[in-house]
């Protein structure tokens, strides 16, 4: 997996260098969406789709359809599925449209068939699925279940990684001191770039952690109440809330991570919040970019690895700054995700 991520990140670096210019402008929202597509299909299916280079790449197009929640009725459909699942089943509402579902169904089926015929064994998602076919509980893994599993993994991982990369590079472009400290750490480790090295780089981890605080890509958590619980009114203008078993709960991560009572000057990008000394003072339930406890995101380690490898690889060769053509950052209200309204244009400058 590590080497696949390295290869995909190297393609991004090659694409940035392709023009031969010292400074190149890129829309990082699209660039990192393509990188995330390549990494996902490479690490989960063993497919090198190269959407970074191919503008009309089928895998990237499907990825955009699978994660596009733009538009009023798409948002209504998503909310009904989440809040009223019985109603959604009655009316046959689905998160993914039929084209996306058919694409993933055929991809899984053909990938498994090819591996069986050629006796290929890989330690990836499809490999795990193939091993699970002989599960001791004799649970039948139907095409519907396998398709839902793969599509869910893609939907959950795509926005997490691509958005986090986009906002990391945006914040670095706006904070030259932070960027230089990170460049110095990368330069100090560039001759010993291994999985262990990148995961133990302290300042890189601080930068990623602060990005996920300020820009939580999963901007709310979903939970279901399993026992009666009373939320007391702590202030005069608050009302007591009594939760019943089965009640759905949405925890607004964006509000939590930007709460000035939990994080001082919360709108400021400050990786020092997560240095070894300050990190100890952060309440574990105030900072939850991947959730917490047994229901936490199972893909968090994968997401962090992709983030750190991509950041390291790109910043080895380039520094970043906002493009003169970039509009002031505004969050789009038409999306269900925390995404910018316009293109996020950054200048990548070659380093010596």
- 71 Rama sector, left if φ>0, alpha if ψ -120 to 50, beta otherwise: left
Quick count: other Cβ atoms within 10 Å of Cβ 107? 20
Residue that is written with structure tokens 């709960």 in the block:
249
The contacts of residue 334 (CB under 8 Å, 6+ apart) are: 70, 71
Is residue 322 within 8 A of residue 173, CB to CB? The reply is yes
297 known member of a binding site: yes
Q: How far is CA 94 from CA 24, 36, 88, 217, 310, in A?
A: 40, 24, 8, 22, 33
Please, how many CA atoms are within 13 Å of residue 117, restricted to the half-sphere of its CB?
Answer: 6
Is residue 291 within 8 A of residue 297, CB to CB? The reply is yes
And the tokens for 275? 């240095």
- Report d(CA 311, CA 9) in Å as an integer: 9
Q: Is 347 helix (H, G, I), strand (E, B) or coil?
A: strand
CA angle 38–77–255, rounded 5-degree value = 75
- Report d(CA 137, CA 155) in Å as an integer: 28
- Report d(CA 329, CA 332) in Å as an integer: 10
Residue that is written with structure tokens 């520094």 in the block:
319
Binding residues: 297
Binding residues for heme: 297
């Amino acid at each position: 997996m590590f080497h696949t991520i390295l290869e995909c990140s190297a393609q991004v670096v090659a694409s940035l260098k392709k023009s031969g210019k010292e400074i190149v402008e890129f829309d990082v929202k699209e660039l990192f969406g393509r990188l995330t597509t390549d990494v996902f299909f490479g690490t989960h299916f063993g497919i090198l789709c190269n959407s970074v280079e191919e503008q009309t790449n089928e895998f990237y197009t499907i990825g955009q359809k699978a994660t596009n929640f733009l538009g009023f009725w798409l948002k209504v459909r998503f909310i009904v599925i989440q809040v009223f699942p019985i109603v959604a089943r009655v009316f046959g509402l689905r998160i993914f449209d039929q084209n996306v579902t058919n694409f993933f169904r055929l991809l899984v089926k053909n990938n498994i068939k090819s591996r069986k015929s050629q006796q290929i064994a890989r330690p990836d998602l499809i490999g795990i699925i193939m091993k699970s076919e002989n599960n001791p509980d004799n649970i039948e893994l139907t095409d519907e279940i396998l398709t839902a599993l793969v599509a869910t993994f893609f939907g959950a991982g795509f926005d997490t990684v691509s958005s986090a990369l986009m906002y990391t590079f945006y914040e670095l472009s706006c904070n030259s001191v932070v960027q230089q400290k990170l460049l110095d750490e990368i330069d100090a480790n560039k001759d010993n770039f291994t999985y262990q090295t990148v995961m133990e780089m302290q300042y890189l981890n601080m930068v990623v952690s602060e990005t996920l605080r300020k820009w939580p890509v999963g901007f709310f958590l979903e939970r279901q109440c399993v026992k009666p619980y009373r939320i007391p009114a702590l202030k005069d203008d608050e009302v007591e809330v009594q939760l019943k078993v089965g009640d759905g709960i949405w925890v607004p991560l964006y509000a939590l991570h930007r709460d000035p009572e939990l994080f001082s000057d919360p709108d400021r990008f400050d990786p020092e919040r997560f240095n070894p000394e300050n990190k100890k003072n952060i309440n574990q339930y105030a900072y939850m970019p991947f959730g917490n406890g047994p229901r936490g995101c199972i893909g968090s380690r994968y997401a962090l690895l992709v983030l750190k490898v991509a950041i390291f690889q790109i910043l080895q060769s380039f520094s970043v700054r906002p493009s003169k053509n970039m509009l002031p950052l505004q969050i789009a209200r038409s999306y269900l995700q925390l995404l910018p309204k316009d293109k996020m244009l950054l200048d990548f400058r070659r380093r010596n």
